[in-house]
C-alpha cells in the first residue's frame, strides 16, 4: 500500500506508541523516527525526585526532540511515508505537568525559538488506555527507571493528554482505545488502522473495535 506524508503516534507512557509505530512503518515501508527516552541521563533521577530533576529532564528532552524534528522537517515528507512515536507538542504537555511556574516561563522562552521549524503531522493516532492497563504494560517491559512511577502521576498525565487532544485541530486525529488490543499479534486490527490511515478523514474519529464514531466538531485543522 502506498501512503505518503507524516503520521505520528501519541499517547501516555506505556500505551504502546513505539510498538504501533514500528509495526506501521514495516507494513507501509515508511521511514521511522523514534524517540529514545532511555538516552536522557536525568530520567532515572526524575522518577526518584520529580521536583528536583524535572527541569533538567525536560530541557534535555526538548533539545533532543527539537534536533530530531528539525533534522527531518526540511526533508520532502511527501516523497514517502514517515512514522514517528511522538509529536513535538508532547514536550509542552510534560513541561506543564512537571515544572514550577518559574521553570515553565523559562522553558516556554526556549521553546518559542525551537518550535518554528517543527514538522506538523498529516495525521495523528492517539492511543488511549486505562491507568491500570498502562501500569500493567509498564511493569511488563521492566525498565528499571520506571519502577518509581506513581499511579497518581499516570492519572494526571492521562488527563493532560485527554484535555490536549479534545481540542486538537492541527491534523486529522484517530483516537484508538487499546486496553484489549495487541497490535503485534492481531493483524486484522492492525490492517484496520492502516485502512483508516489510507482513508483519513478531517476531524476526529474514535475507534474501540466494538464501535466506530466519527466526530467532526474540531473542524478541518
Percent of the chain with pLDDT over 70: 90
CA distance 7 to 109: 28
User: Quick check: is 115 in a domain?
Assistant: yes
CA distance 107 to 215: 34
User: Quick check: is 15 in a domain?
Assistant: yes
- What residues are labeled active site? 85
Domain with residue 111: its CATH number is 3.40.50.300
CA distance 56 to 45: 10
Sort strands 123-128 and 173-177 into parallel, antiparallel or unpaired: parallel
Write the DSSP symbol of residue 77: T
User: Quick check: is 144 in a domain?
Assistant: yes
User: Quick check: is 220 in a domain?
Assistant: no
pTM: 0.90
User: Quick check: is 27 in a domain?
Assistant: yes
Other Cβ atoms less than 10 A from the Cβ of 59: the count is 19
Say how many domains are in the chain: 1
Task: Quote the pLDDT of residue 210.
Answer: 64
Per-residue model confidence as pLDDT tens digits over 126-158: 999 999 999 999 999 888 778 878 999 999 999
Q: DSSP of 96-113, one letter per residue?
A: HHHS-HHHHHHHHHHHHH
Q: Which structural domain, as residue segments, surrounds residue 108?
A: 5-215
Q: Calculate the alpha carbon distances from 81 to 84, 90, 128, 197 in Å.
A: 10, 21, 24, 11
CA distance 38 to 82: 22
Amino acid at each position: 500500500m502506498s501512503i505518503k506524508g507524516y503520521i505520528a503516534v501519541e499517547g501516555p507512557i506505556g500505551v504502546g506508541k513505539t510498538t504501533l509505530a514500528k509495526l506501521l512503518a514495516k507494513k507501509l515501508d515508511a521511514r521511522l523516527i523514534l524517540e529514545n527516552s532511555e538516552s536522557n541521563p536525568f530520567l532515572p533521577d526524575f522518577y526518584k525526585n520529580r521536583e528536583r530533576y524535572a527541569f533538567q529532564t525536560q530541557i534535555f528532552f526538548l533539545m533532543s526532540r527539537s534536533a530530531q524534528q528539525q533534522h527531518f522537517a526540511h526533508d520532502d515528507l511527501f516523497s514517502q511515508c514517515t512514522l514517528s512515536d511522538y509529536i513535538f507538542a508532547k514536550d509542552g504537555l510534560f513541561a506543564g505537568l512537571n515544572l514550577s511556574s518559574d521553570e515553565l516561563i523559562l522553558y516556554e522562552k526556549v521553546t518559542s525559538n525551537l518550535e518554528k521549524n517543527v514538522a506538523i503531522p498529516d495525521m495523528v493516532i492517539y492511543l488511549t488506555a486505562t491507568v491500570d492497563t498502562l501500569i500493567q504494560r509498564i511493569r511488563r517491559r521492566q525498565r528499571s527507571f520506571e519502577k518509581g512511577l506513581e499511579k497518581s502521576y499516570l492519572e494526571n498525565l492521562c488527563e493532560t493528554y485527554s484535555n490536549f487532544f479534545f481540542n486538537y485541530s492541527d491534523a486529522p486525529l484517530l483516537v484508538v482505545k487499546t486496553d484489549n488490543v495487541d497490535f503485534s499479534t492481531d493483524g486484522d486490527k492492525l490492517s484496520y488502522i492502516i485502512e483508516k490511515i489510507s482513508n483519513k478523514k478531517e476531524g476526529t474519529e474514535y475507534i474501540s473495535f466494538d464501535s466506530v464514531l466519527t466526530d467532526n466538531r474540531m473542524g478541518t485543522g
